[in-house]
């Protein structure tokens, strides 16, 4: 090729005289050479991508190529680029490749790939596929490389080319995708973690974009009775009752617009069978597959709500019965502090209603001083026993002075803590002050079933 060097330079210089292009006759006449020789020079320049040819009818027009040859582009690339011949000899390499292998250009050129001390190029894949690339096939493969700083990942592309002497070759382009790989791995692990947590969650989890569901976990299928395929065809507000659909639609779309929306509330939803259930709904904004979305967590609280309603009804009945009872009823904690007392209990122990006179009072203040220790001991015993205890209190009653009043006590749970329920029955003729033993308090323990209705709210 070197013997044509000067001639090729002359041809390119002559083509610059008319950027619109010249045919073979014009070039041969201008350079004073034969048409065959001019055609040969032009074919070489065309193969080297320095000259382009366009056909107009039967005439071929040649002009200088506006493109930069591939080998010239190599020096400007941040990728690792090396050009090899059909014999796997390195013809050219860019600066990025030389920095990577730690060698200078003169130590690399005209050496075989197998002689380069780098596992990135000295592997079995390149020799096995190089002939396919030289034959015209572009091949891409992902490679991994273990280094002192950890694993690195590269995309290798084998691209066919021709050199200035028109000989075939191949350009190897290595792109470092380690950062991309790390992000993809983290994303894949994050998605896997999300799906595991979602699929094992005892709550319905949905993700919607726009108006449609784009993700539904398995529990949501069991919760609503709809299949995933059915849910994916529904708009997100259609699982709620008709009277709530406008509200949920407005909130869902407002959240996607970035507006401030209440994040958690209790709401009813409708199953496929038409059964109405209650859910604790919480939602938040996320990015799902590169687009803004809303994730919704639906916790079925139907059973809990029914239990709370039943407990509330029981509590209301209990306090209603206490208000109607002719017996004095009070609840105290294990330290003796009154937590509740009905008006009848207040009438027994003082002239004012219990709500005024007994609020946060201690039941020991209703007893004569010398009976305190006995009552404290009995309250402690009651707390450890599941049977009602019959006890007598010596208290000051209106108009009668000190008197003994019979009653019973149960250990209960009130507002989540151990407590004692007292019931007192005031007879028309209270027992005289010396009726029981001189220590001021007497108890008996008849065996009886525990009264479940005496338990306060939990």
How far apart are alpha carbons 304 and 262 in whole angstroms?
Answer: 23
Mean pLDDT lowest for which of 31-40, 251-260, 356-365, 406-415?
Answer: 356-365
Q: Three-state DSSP class for 363?
A: helix
Q: Is the pLDDT of residue 75 over 80?
A: no
Q: What is the CA radius of gyration of the chain?
A: 47
Q: Three-state DSSP class for 97?
A: helix
pLDDT single digits (tens) 161-172: 877 667 888 989
| Sign of the CA dihedral running 126, 132, 135, 139 | negative
Q: Candidates 3.10.200.10, 3.40.50.300, 1.20.1260.10, 3.30.450.20; correct CATH number of 203-300? A: 3.30.450.20
Q: Is the pLDDT of residue 434 over 80?
A: no
Contact between residue 298 and residue 279 where contact means Cβ atoms under 8 Å apart: yes
Of all residues in the chain, the percent with pLDDT exceeding 90 is 27
pLDDT reported for residue 429? 53
- Going through 177-263 in order, the beta strands assigned E by DSSP cover 204-209, 212-216
Quick one: fold of 70-176?
A: Beta-Lactamase (3.30.450)
Rounded to 5 degrees, what angle do the CA atoms 367, 369, 375 make?
A: 55
Q: Is the pLDDT of residue 69 over 70?
A: no
- The more confidently predicted of residues 31 and 368 is 31
Q: Is the pLDDT of residue 317 over 70?
A: yes
Confidence label for 451 from pLDDT (cuts 50, 70 and 90): very low
Report, as an integer, the average pLDDT of 179-197. 85
Of all residues in the chain, the percent with pLDDT exceeding 70 is 77
Q: Three-state DSSP class for 391?
A: strand
Mean pLDDT lowest for which of 47-51, 130-134, 250-254, 285-289?
Answer: 47-51
- The more confidently predicted of residues 353 and 113 is 113
pLDDT single digits (tens) 375-397: 666 666 655 555 555 555 655 55
Residue range(s) in the chain whose domain bears CATH number 3.30.450.20: 70-176, 203-300, 310-454
Q: Is the pLDDT of residue 450 over 70?
A: no
Confidence label for 250 from pLDDT (cuts 50, 70 and 90): very high
List Cα–Cα distances, 16 to 20, 51, 232, 361, in angstroms. Answer: 9, 11, 64, 111
Confidence label for 2 from pLDDT (cuts 50, 70 and 90): very low
Q: Is the pLDDT of residue 213 over 90?
A: yes
pLDDT reported for residue 353? 46
Mean pLDDT lowest for which of 144-153, 250-259, 359-368?
Answer: 359-368
List Cα–Cα distances, 265 to 213, 238, 285, 341, 376, in angstroms. Answer: 20, 18, 16, 35, 46
Residue range(s) in the chain whose domain bears CATH number 1.10.10.10: 2-64
Check residue 15 and give left, alpha or beta (phi > 0: left; psi -120 to 50: alpha). alpha
How far apart are alpha carbons 364 and 349 in whole angstroms?
Answer: 12
Q: Is the pLDDT of residue 67 over 70?
A: no
The structure tokens listed for 193 are 């973690």
CATH code that applies to domain 2-64: 1.10.10.10
The structure tokens listed for 146 are 């273990």
Report, as an integer, the average pLDDT of 55-69. 78
Report, as an integer, the average pLDDT of 182-205. 86
CATH superfamily name and code, 310-454: PAS domain (3.30.450.20)
How far apart are alpha carbons 224 and 204 in whole angstroms?
Answer: 9
pLDDT reported for residue 359? 64
How far apart are alpha carbons 393 and 404 in whole angstroms?
Answer: 5
List Cα–Cα distances, 58 to 11, 41, 77, in angstroms. Answer: 22, 20, 40
pLDDT reported for residue 356? 53
- Looking at residue 384, the DSSP 8-state letter turns out to be T
Neighbours of 372 (CB within 10 A): 16
pLDDT single digits (tens) 328-357: 888 888 888 888 888 888 777 765 444 455
pLDDT single digits (tens) 228-249: 999 999 999 999 999 999 999 9
pLDDT reported for residue 435? 43
Highest mean pLDDT among 298-307, 351-360, 424-433: 298-307
pLDDT reported for residue 368? 56
- The more confidently predicted of residues 446 and 220 is 220
Is the pTM higher than 0.75? The answer reads no
Average pLDDT, the chain: 80
């Amino acid at each position: 090729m070197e013997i044509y060097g000067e001639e090729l330079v002359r041809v390119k210089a002559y083509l610059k005289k008319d950027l619109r292009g010249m045919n073979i006759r014009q070039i041969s006449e201008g350079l004073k050479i034969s048409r065959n020789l001019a055609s040969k020079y032009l074919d070489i320049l065309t193969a080297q991508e320095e000259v382009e040819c366009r056909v107009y009818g039967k005439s071929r027009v040649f002009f200088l190529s506006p493109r930069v040859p591939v080998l010239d582009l190599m020096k400007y690339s941040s990728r690792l680029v090396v050009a090899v011949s059909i014999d796997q000899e390195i013809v050219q390499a860019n600066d990025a490749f030389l920095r990577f292998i730690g060698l200078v250009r003169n130590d690399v050129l005209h050496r075989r790939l197998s002689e380069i001390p780098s596992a990135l190029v000295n592997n079995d894949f390149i020799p096995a596929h190089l002939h396919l690339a030289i034959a015209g096939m572009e091949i891409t493969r992902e490679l991994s490389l273990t280094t002192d700083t950890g694993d690195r990942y590269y995309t290798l592309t084998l691209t066919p080319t021709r050199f200035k002497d028109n000989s075939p070759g191949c350009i190897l382009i290595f792109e470092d995708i380690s950062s991309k790989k790390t992000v993809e791995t983290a994303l894949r692990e994050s998605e896997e973690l999300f799906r595991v947590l979602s699929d094992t969650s005892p709550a319905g989890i949905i993700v919607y974009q726009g108006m449609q569901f784009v993700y539904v976990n398995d529990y949501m299928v069991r919760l609503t009775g709809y299949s995933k395929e059915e849910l994916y065809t529904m708009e997100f507000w259609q699982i709620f009752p008709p009277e709530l659909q406008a509200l949920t639609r407005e909130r869902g779309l407002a959240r996607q617009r970035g507006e401030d929306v209440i994040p958690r509330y209790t709401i009813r939803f409708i199953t496929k069978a038409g059964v109405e259930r209650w859910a604790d709904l919480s939602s938040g904004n996320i990015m799902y597959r590169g687009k803004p979305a809303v994730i919704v967590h639906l916790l079925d609280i139907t059973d809990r709500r029914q239990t709370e309603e039943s407990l509330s009804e029981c509590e209301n009945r209990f306090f209603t019965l206490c208000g109607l009872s002719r017996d004095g009823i009070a609840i105290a904690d294990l330290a003796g502090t009154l937590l509740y007392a009905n008006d009848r209990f207040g009438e027994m122990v003082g002239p004012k209603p219990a709500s005024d006179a007994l609020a946060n009072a201690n039941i020991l203040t209703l007893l004569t001083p010398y009976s305190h220790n006995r009552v404290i001991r009995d309250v402690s015993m009651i707390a450890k026993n599941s049977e009602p205890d019959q006890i007598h209190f010596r208290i000051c009653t209106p108009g009668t002075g000190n008197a003994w009043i019979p009653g019973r006590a149960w250990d209960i749970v009130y507002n989540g803590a151990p407590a004692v329920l007292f019931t007192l029955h005031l007879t028309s003729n209270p027992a005289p002050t010396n009726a029981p033993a001189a220590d001021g308090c007497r108890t008996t323990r008849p065996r009886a079933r525990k009264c479940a209705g005496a338990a306060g709210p939990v």
